[in-house]
Amino acid sequence: MKAKTIDYKTLKNKLEKYLEKDELEQIDSAYKYAKEKHKGQFRKTGEPYIIHPLQVAYILTSIKADKETIIAALLHDTIEDTETSKKDIEEKFGENVARLVDGVTKINNINVSTDNEYLTSYYKKIIVGMSEDVRVIIIKLADRLHNMRTLYALPHEKQKKKAKETLEILAPIAHRLGMNKIKSELEELSLKYLKPEAYNDVVEKLNKTKAEREEYVKKMMDEVSDLLNKNGIKHEIKGRAKSIYSIYKKLDKGRSFNDIYDLLAIRILVEKEQECYLALGLIHSKYKPIPKRFKDYIAMPKTNLYQTLHTTVIGLEGNFFEIQIRTYDMDEIAENGIASHWAYKEQKDAAVEMQNITEQKLQFYKSIIELKEDKLTNEDFMYKVKNEVLNNNIYVYTPKGDVIELPKGATPIDFAYKIHSAVGDKLTGAIVNNNMVPLTYELNDTDVVKVITNNNSKGPSREWLNIVKTTGAKNKIKSFFNRTTKEDYINRGKELLEKALRRKKIPMSEFLKEENLERIYKEFKLESLEDIYLNIGNNKFSTKAIIKQKNEAENHEETKPKLAINANDSDILVGDTKNIEVHIANCCLPLPGDEIVGYITKAHGIRIHRKDCTNIELFEDRVVDAKWNKDITNKYNSEVIIHTNSKENILVDIVQVASSMGITVENVNLIYKSSNNVYSVDVLVKDLETMEKFITNLNKIKHVNDVERIMR
C-alpha cells in the first residue's frame, strides 16, 4: 500500500540524466536547505517530512522539469511550514524560485473558516496562480499527486474531500495542460478513495481477463510489427493499458465490460508524421476498420494540443483492437502536454516558451483570464471555472477543422466571440452542419459551425446578453456597448433613418411633418426627434417599424400564396459554403444566371433573392453573399407577362413555343381579357439564358406586343 520511498540519491540519478553539473550543485544546496528547515517534522504517514518534497521533485523529473522547478519543488513547503520567508529564498535561490515557491504557498495557505468559502478561495488561488507562471500549477499537480499517493494516512472523511477536489479541479487542469500521465494517475487515485467498490470491481475484472488480453495483444503486436517492417516503416509498438478511470466511466454509462473494445489497445510510434498515415493505410488494408471509430487528431489536434491517429480494427480472431499511431514528438506531448517543452534541450528558456504556449494556444486558459477580469465573487468565479471551463464541455469544429471548446449550452454567438470579438460583433447568422440555425441554437458536440458575418452589421443586439452562455461573450458584448456613446447612437440612428427614407423615396420633409412625428412619439412612447434617432441607433426600434411601410420582404413573401420550387441545396453557395438549406424567394424568382444574394429571414432560414430585388434593399444587414454553383440540375420557377394587341386567344402558341424549347409550362392564364389580351405564364426553366431565348421567341408570336419577366 505504501508508496515506494526514495532517497536523495535516487532523485539525483534521475536529474543527472538531463541537467548540467552546475545546476545539480544548486539543487544539492536546495535539498540541504529544505532538509534542515523541515528537521524534526513528520508526515501523517510517520515518515520524516523531507520525504514529501523529495517525492514531489522526483515526480517532476518524469516530465524533465527544469532546475528552477525542481528547486522550488524541494522548497515548496518551507514558507508555509517552517520559519522561512520569500525573501530568504530569493536571496539564496533567486527571484524566479522564490516566486514559484510563493505561488505554491499562496495556493495552500488559506485562512477562512467555512468549508465552502475555504474551497472556493482555494480553487481560485490555484487557477489564478497558474496565470502568473504555469510552473506553479505543475508543481501543485505533482504535490497533489504525492499527497494522493499517501492519502491512506488520512481519515476517511478527509480522503473523500481531497479525492473529490482532485477529480473536479486538479485532474481537469492536468487534462487541459495535456499532462495525461499525471491526470490519469490523479483520476485513478481519486476513484479509489471516492468509490472504492467501483474501483475494485474494475481492477478485479481487468485482472481476471489479463492473461487472455495480453496474449491477444502480444500476437497482434507481432503481426502489425511484421506488416510495418515488410514495408520499411521503422517503428516501436506497445501494448497499452487502459485507464481504470476511463473504464469505470464507460461502465457507469451502462456499457458492459466485454463491450469496451478499447480494452485491447496498441500504440505505434514512428519517426515522421507521414509515416503515421502510411502505417494507418497498411493497417486498414489488412484489418477491417470499424466505421466512425477513425479519428485524425493529427490534422485536427485536440484543444490541449494532443495529436495522434485513432482507429479501431477487427484484428486477431475477430477481436476489436484500438490502435493509436503517432510520432515520438507527438508522444511526448500526449504524455506530458505543456510540460513536454522541458524535454527539448535546445530551447534555452523552456519556461518562457511554456508560458507563451499556455497563453496563446490553450483555450481554457483564455477563458480563465476572461473570468478573472470579470470581478466575480469567489463562489461565482469557481462555479464558472468548474462548469464553464473545466467540466461539461462540448467540442465543435470550424469549417477548417479547428476545434473550439465551449461549455454545454453554448450558442453560435458564444462560438463567434470565442473566435474573435470582431467576428461576434458582425455576426448575422449561423450554419450548423449545413443547416441555417437561429442564434439561440444550442450547439452539440462535434457540430461544424460556420458563422455568417456582415460588415454592414450594426453590432450585437442587447438581447444577446440573455442568450450567451460564456462569460467571454458576455464581456465582449458589454464592451461593444460601452464603446458606443449616446452621441454615437444618435448619429447612427439619424444616418440609418435618412438612408431608409431615401430607399423608400420618402422625402425627409414628409417624415418630419408634425403629425407624423406625433404619431411616432405616441406609438413608441418617445419624446423628441433625438429620441427617435437614439432608439434607432441602439437597435431598439428598426427604421422599418418607425417608417411603417408595409411592403417589406417578409410580409410580401407571406402574402403571396404560391411557393416557388425549392432550390436544390447544392445548387447555391452561401458565402463559400455548399449544401446549406436555402429557399427561393417568391417575389423575384431568381434563375441560375441571375445575380443573387441570400437574405436571412427570422423564421425560414436563408431566402435567395435576385440581387436587384426591391424587397431586400431595406435590410442590408441581413444580406449574405450567394452564388449559383456551376453544375445545376434543377429547373426553377419563373413568371412572364405577355401583352398583346388582340383579343385572339394565343394560349396554344405560347405552349408550343415553350415545349419546343424544353420548357415546362406550369400554368397559363388569360389574366386580362379585352381587345388587348394579357397572359400570365408560369414556367420551370433551366437558366437565365433559356429564359431570355424564351422571351425572344414569345415576342415572335403574332399579336404579341411585349413580354416581361416579372418581379413582384
- Catalytic machinery residues: 80-81
The closest residue (CB) to Mn ion is 143
> What one-letter code names the amino acid at 251?
L
x/- track of binding to Mn ion for residues 440-479 (CB under 5 A):
----------------------------------------
* Cα 142 from Cα 49, distance rounded (Å): 16
Query: Which residue, 71 or 657, is less far from Mn ion as judged by CB?
Result: 71
Instruction: Please report, as a single letter, which amino acid is at residue 185.
Output: E
User: How many angstroms separate the CA atoms of 642 and 635, rounded?
Assistant: 21
27 with 15: CB under 8 angstroms?
Answer: yes
Count CB-CB contacts under 10 A for residue 531.
Answer: 16
Give bridge partners of residue 396 from the DSSP assignment. Answer: 404
The beta-carbon contacts of 96-99 under 8 Å, at least 24 apart in sequence, are 96/68, 96/351, 97/30, 97/68, 97/71, 97/72, 99/132, 99/133
Please list every residue from 667 through 696 that binds Mn ion, using CB under 5 A: none
Measured from the CB atom, the residue of 133 and 143 that comes closer to Mn ion is 143
Give 707's strand partners: 642
Residue 186 or 626 having the CB closest to Mn ion: 186
Q: How far is the CB of 76 from Mn ion (least distance, A)?
A: 6
* C-beta of 119 vs 237, nearer to Mn ion: 119
Coil, strand or helix at 427: strand
Strands 596-600 and 606-610, by their bridges, are: antiparallel
Q: Restricting to residues 472-511, name those near Mn ion by CB under 5 A.
A: none
Report the distance separating Cα 483 and Cα 490, nearest Å.
14
Q: Which is nearer to Mn ion, 48 or 239 (CB)?
A: 48
With the C-alpha atoms ordered 415, 417, 420, 422, is the resulting torsion angle positive or negative? positive
Nearer to Mn ion, 107 or 640 (CB): 107
Closer by beta carbon to Mn ion, 76 or else 213: 76
Examine residue 102 and tell whether it contacts Mn ion (CB under 5 A): no
Nearest CA among 595, 563, 585 for reference residue 712: 585
Please say whether the beta carbons of 327 and 272 come within 8 A: yes
Q: Minimal distance in Å, beta carbon 458 to Mn ion?
A: 55
Q: How far is the CB of 38 from Mn ion (least distance, A)?
A: 11
Whichever of 107 and 685 has its CB closer to Mn ion, that residue is 107
From the CB of 104, what's the least distance to Mn ion, in Å?
Answer: 8
Measured from the CB atom, the residue of 77 and 639 that comes closer to Mn ion is 77
Residue with Cβ nearer Mn ion (111 or 114): 111
**Cα distance between residue 33 and residue 152, in whole Å:** 29
Residue 358 Cβ vs Mn ion, minimum distance, rounded to whole Å? 23
311 φ/ψ angles, rounded to the nearest 5 degrees: -150, 160
With vertex at residue 431, the alpha carbon angle to CA 429 and CA 433, rounded to the nearest 5 degrees, is 165
Give me the least distance between CB of 46 and Mn ion, in Å please: 17
Residue appearing with cell numbers 489536434: 301
Quick check: 370 binds Mn ion (CB under 5 A)?
Answer: no
Q: Which of residues 69-98 bind Mn ion (CB under 5 A)?
A: 77
Q: What is the DSSP string of 258-300?
A: GG-GGGSEEEEEESSHHHHHHHHHHHHHHSEEPTT--EETTTS
- The secondary structure of the chain in percent helix, strand, coil, rounded to multiples of 5, reads 55, 15, 30
- Whole-number minimum distance, CB 54 to Mn ion, in Å? 11
The answer to whether 143 contacts Mn ion (rule: CB under 5 A) is yes
- Closer by beta carbon to Mn ion, 79 or else 681: 79
- Cα gap 23→600, rounded to integer Å: 64
The answer to whether the CB of 146 falls within 8 A of the CB of 52 is yes
Question: Residues in the chain, how many?
Answer: 712
Beta-sheet pairing, 596-600 with 623-628: antiparallel
From 142-150, 287-295, 332-340, 580-588, span contacting Mn ion (CB under 5 A): 142-150
Minimum CB distance to Mn ion, residue 160 (Å): 20
**Given the C-alpha cell 405616441, which residue does it identify?**
522
Q: Cα separations (Å) of 539 from 321, 421, 461, 476, 517? A: 57, 19, 7, 17, 19
Q: To 10 degrees, the CA torsion angle through 687, 692, 695, 699?
A: -160
The CA-atom distances, in angstroms, between 522 and each of 249, 510, 532, 538 are 62, 18, 12, 19
Least distance to Mn ion, CB of residue 146, Å: 7
Q: Which amino acid is at 158?
A: K
* Residues in binding contact with Mn ion, number by CB under 5 A: 2
Interactions with Mn ion, residue window 151-210 (CB under 5 A) = none
Q: How far is the CB of 101 from Mn ion (least distance, A)?
A: 11
Which residues between 20 and 79 bind Mn ion (CB under 5 A)? 77
Q: Smaller CB distance to Mn ion: residue 75 or 685?
A: 75
How many C-alpha atoms does 568 have within 13 Å on its Cβ side? 14
Nearer to Mn ion, 73 or 338 (CB): 73
Q: Which helix (H) or strand (E) holds 529?
A: helix 529-537
Which residues lie below 8 Å from residue 381, measured CB to CB, with a gap of 6+? 120, 124, 371, 372, 374
Min CB(28)–Mn ion separation in Å = 21
Shortest CB 33 distance to Mn ion, Å? 16
C-beta of residue 49 within 8 angstroms of C-beta of residue 36: no
Give the Cα separation of 683 and 665 in Å (integer).
4
The residue ranges that bind Mn ion (CB under 5 A) are 77, 143
